[in-house]
Chains A and B, each alone.
Chain A
Amino acid sequence: MTSPVSMTVNGKAVTATVEPRTLLVQYLREHLGLTGTHVGCDTSQCGACVVHLDGKSIKSCTILAVQAAGGTVTTIEGLAKGSELHPMQAAFREHHGLQCGFCTPGMVMSAVDLAQRKSDLSEHEVREWLEGNICRCTGYHNIVKAIQAGAAAMGSAKA
């Protein structure tokens, strides 16, 4: 049994016909071909799948596509403007906040949500926020630095 599910993804109206059990992350990866959102676990622990739904970060492996119907989704593919990186993406590059890149989309999307709430972030605040995002490569040190810098850059861009 399949049915059409529509939502707005990265500013475009999209529809795909999926099974009710289809997860949002499958909808994005397998039906829309947006493979920037990754799957790193099956217990909702790793955060590789984080996207924004109506402006807030969520784990797209933990919600059904039908639950997101009618919503507005932003994935990692929707963040940069052409070849110009979003300030958070630029900060990850500048501070070497990624190695293999697999956790990176989820990290960046999660970080953007945090930075939208607060731009002057302590190391402690960033580390606490990242509780739901696992990185096996970086030891987090540079991710924390990148998020602090990215949040500051987003803050001053707003001001």
Chain B
Amino acid sequence: MSAQGIGEPVRRKEDFRFLTGQGTYTDDMNRPGQLYAYILRSPHAHAELNGIDISKAQAGPGVEAIFSGKDMEADGVGGLPCGWLIHSKDGSPMNEPPHPPLAVGRVRHVGDSVAVIIAATREQAKDAAELIKVDYKELPAVVAVEDATKAGKPQLFDAAPNNLCYDWHLGDKAATEAAFAKAHHVTKIDLVNNRLVPNAMEPRSAIGEYDRATGLHTLYTTSQNPHVIRLLMGAFVLHLPEHKLRVVAPDVGGGFGSKIFHYAEEAIVTWAAAKIQKPVKWTSDRSEAFITDAHGRDHVTHAELAMDKDGKFLGLHVQTLANMGAYLSTFSSCVPTYLYATLLAGTYTTPAIYAEVKAIFTNTVPVDAYRGAGRPEATYVVERIVETAAREMGIDPAELRRRNFVPRDAYPYQTPVALQYDSGDYFETLDMALKASDYLGFPGRRDEAAKRGKIRGIGMATYIEACGIAPSAVVGSLGARAALYETAQVRVHPTGSVSVFTGSHQHGQGHETTFAQIVADKLGLTVDQVDIVHGDTDKIPFGLGTYGSRSLAVGGSALVMSLDKVIAKGKKIAAHLLEASEADIEFKDGKYTVAGTDKAKTFGEIAMTAYVPHNYPIEELEPGLDETSFYDPKNFTFPSGCHIAEVEIDPETGVVKLVNFTAADDFGRIVNPMIVEGQVHGGLAQGIGQALHEGCIYDRESGQLLTGSYMDYDMPRADDLPNFQVATNVTLCTHNPLGVKGCGEAGAIGAPAAVMNAITHALGIKDLLMPATPQRVWQAINPMRQAAE
């Protein structure tokens, strides 16, 4: 193994360009003759769109064209598609109302797109937009899921009565009822999983371009999965043949799920560029991002947990209302179903689970996958109710968890909610976290804090998540309209350096380094001899992209398959050159040797021979050394872990200080520990952000977004967070070649429940809404104080 191989904290190859300002993000690009698009958006949450008067705007300086939804409709442009069909309990397909890129007839959320203005400069386009007169007839709006299904409430779509998208369930209802019938104790809880805005620091941007000479359409876009965009936009929206459509996602400044989806603006600039035969660029500003990037979470849940007298879990019943927003975003429908309810077993052997999920349309920005996507919501339910149960039963929360963990010898473990866990050791990660957080020393710290007038609490969450999405046939049977394999092409150059073309896409994860480490490890090269190419549908084989912590587990597996093919072909060439039988050839540290001899050829010599096949088994073997693989996962992977939060609360102000945060995680084999730690840190910041800071608030009557900028939406800052204690335990994934599980989402999954368990522990209360702002905490403390006084 080379010093830059698997397991080494290799410094990142991509950093030089980012650190010197030479990254190429979409908005950094400009095409010759390019014009700028500005999108006029609805200021109303719900209104009829009766007419658009563009006469004044059209005459504005620099204005080239103005288009509305009617223009796109007249051109046969389709609606933005949803990638996963969910069936309701009664077998009926979900309600899937149309989602035109520019609104037609009605606008359904603040920020819904109404018209596009294309001008020579961004400022001119913006100025012209102010001259457009839109005839809106305002309609009453509904933004909360609890309101939306009630009789007499505003209806978003005729085709979706009571604003219901679907009414879905999973699990065994009868078995769960039977479990509750024999329970010794039932813990009940009501929870809200607050709506979040993903807020990747790079705002979305898109440039459309059309080459009349070749008929080629090109879209440069801030995407986590360029091929998915090409397929959805080409086949469903603009009806462009795939060989005439190129999608490029260059450097992308963070995604966290929000850049998976096919957005209206991508279709608008691609369509408009062809229409006016000039490149068209659109870049979101932050205020626009708040009202157009798909939001995350937004669940209202009631859950009940049945236990026997020893605290053994017998059954779990969960009822959730999930807010879909005004339209179905690309993967919105699968998030509160197959990415949520399937995780409700958590790390436990709960034998009977029944989950019911109603997905509801409201006059809000569409909701879709955001870091963790369904799994943070599931973990929040399971870990908040388990902690509450421990308090009600008078059992130490760590001990209650241990009593219910999936035993070490139970793998593969089949849950009652469809998943089969392949490996894990929840006892070990729990112990690691308890030790690292000095759990046993907590009472001393609490007493010390009390002397200073502060209230301390400690809380934990153990989690499991399903990553490495996914076996294509399995998800297909569950309604996915896409496959979920990944591709990798390994092109060995004649002199032995390597280019990898991967369907995985990086937007902060550091694949250019980790994937190069895998190549270096397998072929005995340095990482500098390897280039990782991604993000351009004209260069890479058809791939599905990066989300759900799948890149290493799925994309890395495809890479290993191709590397194995390269090595195997090299063996044949080496056997020929070394005049030995192929069975006697060994490959190690970049050298082919004949076993038991000192006869050897370097990898570089073999590569050269493959491309200059003068002395070559040309009868049996093609020249060249260039292999492509498609890897379709056999199962999901199941990272797991235990997070422990310790908080100190100032009763005078309600301010919660997170004094310690410990994460012990099992991600399977780790390729680059430095990068893995970084992923954990980032996930934790988002999870802690959800618990303490972030929350998207709509005015319940008007549907106006009240938290529409960084002035009102509290992004976690450096002085809001502590240093994190991070540890890893390794149990290997049993069904992929690297034994890897995925690490990108863990922090966001475990942290919210751990923090809220710590705060409710400190205050001795059961219920508290996220984010636990000083105001909410102070209000929770105050009645307690009054009662005590």
A residues apposed to B, CB below 8 Å = 19, 21, 29, 34-43, 45-46, 48, 75-77, 79-80, 83, 85, 89, 92-94, 96, 98-105, 108, 123-124, 126-128, 130-131, 133-144
Contacts and interface: CB of A to CB of B under 8 A. Distances in A.
A149 to B, nearest CB: 13
B286 A40 contact: yes
Given A96-B675, A101-B19, 7 more contacts: A21-B123, A45-B715, A76-B19, A77-B22, A126-B718, A134-B715, A142-B677
B251 interface: yes
A85 B20 contact: yes
B21 A137 contact: no
Contacts of A131: 717-719
B718 A127 contact: yes
A123 B723 contact: yes
22 contacts: A39-B203, A45-B709, A45-B711, A46-B286, A46-B710, A77-B20, A79-B20, A80-B19, A94-B11, A96-B678, A98-B19, A99-B509, A101-B14, A101-B15, A102-B201, A104-B19, A108-B19, A128-B718, A130-B717, A130-B718, A139-B685, A141-B724
Given A45-B710, A139-B682, A75 B12 contact: no
A75 B22 CA distance: 12
Q: Which of the listed residues B20, B674, B681, B711 has the most CB atoms from chain A within 10 Å of its own CB?
A: B20
B750 interface: no
A143 B723 CA distance: 11
Contacts of B202: 38, 40, 100, 102
Contact of A139 (B18, B23, B684): B684
Given A38-B25, A46-B710, A101 B18 contact: yes
A138 B718 CA distance: 10
Interface string B655-684: 000000000000000000011011101111
B709 A43 contact: yes
B556 interface: no
Interface in B132-171: none
Q: Which of the listed residues B200, B254, B677 has the most CB atoms from chain A within 10 Å of its own CB?
A: B254
B370 to A, nearest CB: 12
A105 B21 contact: yes
A93 B15 contact: yes
A142 B682 CA distance: 10
Nearest to A100: B508
B481 to A, nearest CB: 29
Given A21-B123, A92-B15, A143-B718, A41 B20 contact: no
Contacts of B123: 19, 21
Q: Which of the listed residues A76, A94, A96 has the most CB atoms from chain B within 10 Å of its own CB?
A: A96
Contacts of A130: 717-719
Nearest to B717: A131
B508 A37 contact: no
Contacts of B200: 100, 102, 136
A102 B25 contact: yes
B747 interface: yes
Contacts of A45: 709-711, 715
Interface string B203-238: 100000000000000000000000000000000000
Interface in B489-547: 507-510
B285 A42 contact: yes
Interface in B360-385: none
B10 to A, nearest CB: 11
Interface string B714-749: 011111010110000000000000000000000100
A108 B684 CA distance: 23
Lowest 8 A-B CB distances belong to which pairs?
Answer: A36-B21, A101-B18, A102-B253, A100-B508, A139-B685, A139-B681, A45-B710, A99-B508
Nearest to B674: A96
B287 interface: yes
Contact of A46 (B201, B674, B679, B718): B201
Contacts of A38: 25, 201-202, 253
A138 B723 contact: no
A41 B285 CA distance: 6
A137 B682 contact: yes
A140 B721 contact: yes
A65 to B, nearest CB: 13
B199 interface: yes
Contacts of A46: 201, 286, 710
A142 B681 contact: yes
B510 A89 contact: no
Nearest to B289: A41
Nearest to A19: B123
Given A99-B678, A100-B201, A143-B718, A76 B20 contact: yes
Nearest to A93: B15
A30 to B, nearest CB: 8
Contacts of B674: 96
A136 B254 contact: yes
A108 B18 CA distance: 11
Contacts of A19: 123
A64 to B, nearest CB: 14
B721 A139 contact: yes
